[in-house]
Chains A and B, each alone.
Chain A
Amino acid sequence: MPKTYADLLREARSQIREVTPQDVGALPDGDAAIIDVREASEWEQGHLPGAVHISKSYVEQQIEAAVPDRDAPVVLYCAGGVRSLFAAQTLQQLGYSNVASMSGGFQAWKSAGLPWEAPVILSAEQKQRYSRHLLIPEVGAAGQTRLLESKALLIGAGGLGSPAALYLAAAGVGTIGIVDFDVVDLSNLQRQILHTNERIGERKVESARRSIEALNPDVKVVTHEEMLLADNVERIIHGYDVIIDGTDTFETRYLLNDAAVAKNIPVIHASVFRFEGQLTTFVPYEGPCYRCLYPTPPPPELAPGCSVAGVLGVVPGIMGMLQANEALKVLLGIGDTLAGRLLLFDALDSTFTELKLRRDPACPVCSTEAAAARAAGRPLPIPSFAAASAGATSEPFVLGSQA
């Protein structure tokens, strides 16, 4: 005898534990994974706070990424409490040992007056543009919305800033600020892929704006056509969620570090030299800052810029993309950043080497004492640039030229 729908439903009810909306509402945050198994169009009308959306038709494919621990408590719900029963059977078949279905579904939840929220809705075009992000459980619609509401600031639209800007724009980071006072030069085009032959002589910030807007009109580009200086750095970085450091002078790197630590904004740091690159993520007070890593700048003969020493064009390309990767993780709050780790890349050997970084307990910028002094309105003195380099060389410190 073939089974009827009523038979299947009876079987499911006998196998699956059911919980009431009130039971679910009383669970402390994070005590159970709440999975909404309705269709996307239903999810968009509203859902339980903190729920993860996996359509019933994708449960087998996506549950392991959303709930890796098969003994973790999982509550499934749908609109009326039937689809979630069948989806719960699937989870049991997959070995999930603590699965429940919420009786009455989202309708009963709302009728009980329990809180719910409506997700920010992506347009049809955005769903298509970001479809490969939406398919990743760690990003999804919530992550994509977060990116669209995020603000990233690029210091420099050069070798590092070019690939970072293009990938952040493609990813849908909603606001991208660009600081650069230079114009496009023919010698930039060997690596600075934001710019084009036709734009030689054009201001880099405008060239960057045109490239970004051509790639993704969702992105608002904010141009800062000025040099980052002590008297404008706080104003420029204000309001950004993450900063990509693609400058090519020590002076700007220290200036940016000090201001970003004070404003508690993460900085994704990279630098390049010929075939080599260095990369790390400075998360204020969680990991070291630039001054912890390099307390003083080297003398100029030990640190020539790209325009003096040269650089293989693809090296800033690779490092800039790794910066974009770090920035996306910071913005999405996923994965492990390079905070506390320095990644070295050697293009000739194709090797990556990782070094452990530590916070300097005596750091004049990010130590507990320094933060307290800043909060009290009496910041600790920071070694001046001239003084810092004076110990290293009798020559005055010469800033690297723009690359």
Chain B
Amino acid sequence: MSTVFIPTVLRPSVGGNKQVELGGESVGDLVTALVEQYPSLRPQLLTDDGDLNRFVNVYVNGQDVRYLDGLKTPVGERDEVRLLPAMAGG
């Protein structure tokens, strides 16, 4: 199982959870499992075509998946996946 960390703005869509444990072999698997479990997350994470929205960054163990293999980036046991939206507050 991998741990997916949910940012504050998305927590209302996942029952207030700060992190969710999910199984899967790639970032795409985890995102799919996540939006199946919490359908209201889908438009916030994915485009209509199923790609990651450009305003949400996804990191696996601190590395941006845009510079790894995107949704195909493999994940293993105990990997930490972090969803990170931009914030503007100052």
Contacts and interface: CB of A to CB of B under 8 A. Distances in A.
Interface of A: 156, 158-161, 245-250, 253, 270-276, 278, 293-299, 302-306, 309, 311, 316, 342, 344, 353-358, 391-392, 400, 403
B82 A298 contact: no
B29 interface: no
Interface of B: 7-10, 44, 47, 53-57, 59, 62-64, 67, 82, 84-90
Given A293-B57, A297-B55, A273 B89 contact: yes
A283 to B, nearest CB: 18
Which one of A245, A275, A400 has the highest number of Cβ atoms from chain B below 10 Å of its Cβ?
A400
Contacts of B9: 273, 302-304, 309
A248 B54 contact: no
B54 A306 contact: no
Contacts of B55: 294-299, 302, 392
Nearest to A342: B84
A161 B89 CA distance: 12
Nearest to A251: B88
B26 to A, nearest CB: 19
B12 to A, nearest CB: 10
A246 B87 contact: no
7 contacts: A270-B90, A272-B89, A302-B85, A344-B84, A353-B82, A356-B63, A392-B53
B7 A249 contact: no
Contact of A156 (B67, B84, B86, B90): B90
Contacts of B53: 298, 392
A296 B54 contact: yes
Nearest to B90: A248
Contacts of A358: 64, 67
Interface of B is mostly: mixed
Nearest to B59: A355
A197 B45 CA distance: 43
Given A295-B54, A298-B56, A302-B44, A274 B8 contact: yes
B62 A316 contact: no
A127 B64 CA distance: 46
A143 B20 CA distance: 48
Contacts of A274: 8
B8 A273 contact: yes
A33 to B, nearest CB: 37
Contact of A305 (B62, B67, B86, B89): B89
Contact of A306 (B7, B67, B84, B90): B90
B88 A250 contact: yes
Contacts of B59: 355-356
Contacts of A305: 88-89
A271 B44 CA distance: 20
